Amino acid sequence: MLSRGFKDQIYDIFQLLPPKIQVGVFSATMPPEALEITRKFMSKPVRILVKRDELTLEGIRQFYVDVDKEEWKFETLCDLYETLAITQSVIFVNTRRKVDWLTEKMRSRDHTVSATHGDMDQNTRDIIMREFRSGSSRVLITTDLLARGIDVQQVSLVINFDLPTQPANYLHRIGRSGRFGRKGAAINFVTRDDEKMLADIQKFYNMVVEELPSNLADLL
């Protein structure tokens, strides 16, 4: 919310608010950008921060898949969708260009997918999200920018086609599944270059990501 133009919009809104208004800032993680708002627009704020190992990942089974080469990720992804019966899923990649590339590749295999990223205007993103929520599209491909804004009850699976570049973003991504008390799963594609980041994520949240089992279909 605080990056890529959203920050300016939030600041503009604050300028229009009365000076004696009560403000609350809530986030699964509290990056420096969020703390900056507390300093700029709050008067002596009370901060309630939980330890990293208390950040909840409950209800979300997490797995990784070893992918020897980056170019093999797409075939691995197609194998998953041919094997599993998935209600709705979100696929995360790290760049807008990759969103467009993966969307085109998925459609070439006759998958009905939606895609959204920060270069799209708000009206276009709203239309795409309405289609996804309605179920007319079962797969959404997106970037970290919109990870926090995806709130769809039927999402049962999150796939990190690319691991996030920061461990803190991992929670925002996989938290899109398993919402409202439902079971969810997260699958991480890991190349040799990603092994350190996966280790950093596990250390950051004090947890272990398991290797993808052969009976995954029974867990979803």
Higher pLDDT: 201 or 14? It is 201
Which residue ranges form the domains of the chain, and what is each CATH number? 6-49 (no CATH), 56-213 (3.40.50.300)
Mean pLDDT of all residues in 93-120: 92
pTM over 0.85: no
Query: pLDDT tens digits for 133-166?
Result: 888 888 999 987 655 556 656 688 999 999 999 9
Q: Rounded CA gap, 51 and 193, in Å?
A: 28
Q: Rounded CA gap, 138 and 153, in Å?
A: 12
What are φ and ψ of residue 63, in 5° steps? -135, 160
The label of the residue with tokens 């009560």 reads 22
Q: Does residue 18 surpass a pLDDT of 80?
A: yes
Q: Does residue 7 surpass a pLDDT of 80?
A: no
